[in-house]
Amino acid sequence: VQLGAVGMRRQIADAFTDRVFYGGLTYNSHPLACATALAAIEVLEEERLIERAARMGERLRSTTSS
């Protein structure tokens, strides 16, 4: 089951407080997709994958710019 997400600035998101944003998400709010997304977020947080990727990116930039 697929899952999509939309990111936007708060100023734009506020325009949809009382209206629905139809972003063409076929499985919008599908329970299985949401459970899978939550599990993936837990792994990202527990294994600190975002921080690790940032450190690896810095290392790669420093070695390739020399």
pLDDT digits 0-9 by tens, 9-38: 999 989 988 888 776 566 677 899 889 999
Contact 3, 36 (CB under 8 A): yes
Q: Is residue 48 part of a domain?
A: yes
Percentage of residues of the chain with pLDDT beyond 70: 91
User: What is the span of the domain harbouring residue 25?
Assistant: 10-64
Q: Is residue 5 part of a domain?
A: no
d(CA 47, CA 8): 27
d(CA 40, CA 1): 14
Q: How many separate domains does the chain show?
A: 1
Q: Is residue 47 part of a domain?
A: yes
Q: Is residue 1 part of a domain?
A: no
Q: Is residue 3 part of a domain?
A: no
Helix (H, G, I), strand (E, B) or coil at 31: helix
pTM of the model: 0.61
